[in-house]
């Protein structure tokens, strides 16, 4: 177990640890969400949620995490995997078409390090493997 936790050689007291199951993001729906002001850079860990629309039949795609810190991404409740674009090797995460649906879809990002000023992840037709 974890015993003496310290920051700058000073013990941390009265702190709590909360688990977050990385295989199931459904619990996110119970969290209270707030809206960010544009242009504010935010340090993690932080949970972000957005929706996006797919027109027509979905195709396989790749989520581009360029400019982000380190974290885990989910589409429609499916764990796409961990990303860490500054370390790599891959910059994109594979999104199978069967996990997408015509119309509204959900993207949830659990960011551990920092959120860039421009909060944007894009979908690409081909992978960026670094």
User: Tens digit of pLDDT for each residue in 41-89?
Assistant: 566 678 888 999 999 999 999 999 999 999 999 999 999 999 999 888 8
* Right CATH for 23-31+41-124 from 2.40.50.140, 3.30.360.10, 2.60.120.260, 1.10.3720.10: 2.60.120.260
Is pLDDT of 118 > 80? Answer: no
Is pLDDT of 31 > 80? Answer: no
Is pLDDT of 1 > 80? Answer: no
How is the beta sheet containing 71-75 ordered, strand by strand?
46-54, 103-111, 71-75, 78-83
Q: Sort strands 78-83 and 114-115 into parallel, antiparallel or unpaired.
A: unpaired
Distance CA 10, CA 6 (A): 5
Is pLDDT of 38 > 70? Answer: no
In this predicted structure, what is the pLDDT of residue 89?
A: 81
Residue that has been written with the tokens 């977050």 in this structure: 20
pTM: 0.78
Using CA atoms in the order 37, 38, 43, 49, what is the torsion angle rounded to 10 degrees? 80
């Amino acid at each position: 177990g974890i015993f003496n936790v310290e920051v700058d050689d000073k013990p941390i007291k009265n702190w709590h640890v909360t688990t977050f199951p990385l295989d199931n993001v459904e619990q996110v729906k119970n969290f209270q969400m707030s809206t960010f002001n544009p242009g504010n850079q935010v340090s993690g860990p932080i949970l972000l949620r957005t929706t996006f629309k797919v027109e027509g039949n979905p195709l396989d795609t790749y989520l581009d995490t360029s400019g982000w810190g380190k974290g885990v991404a989910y589409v429609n409740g499916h764990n796409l995997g961990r990303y860490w674009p500054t370390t790599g090797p891959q910059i994109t995460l594979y999104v199978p078409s069967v996990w997408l649906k015509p119309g509204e879809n959900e993207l949830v990002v659990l960011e551990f390090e920092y959120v860039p000023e421009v909060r944007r992840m894009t979908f690409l037709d081909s992978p960026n493997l670094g």
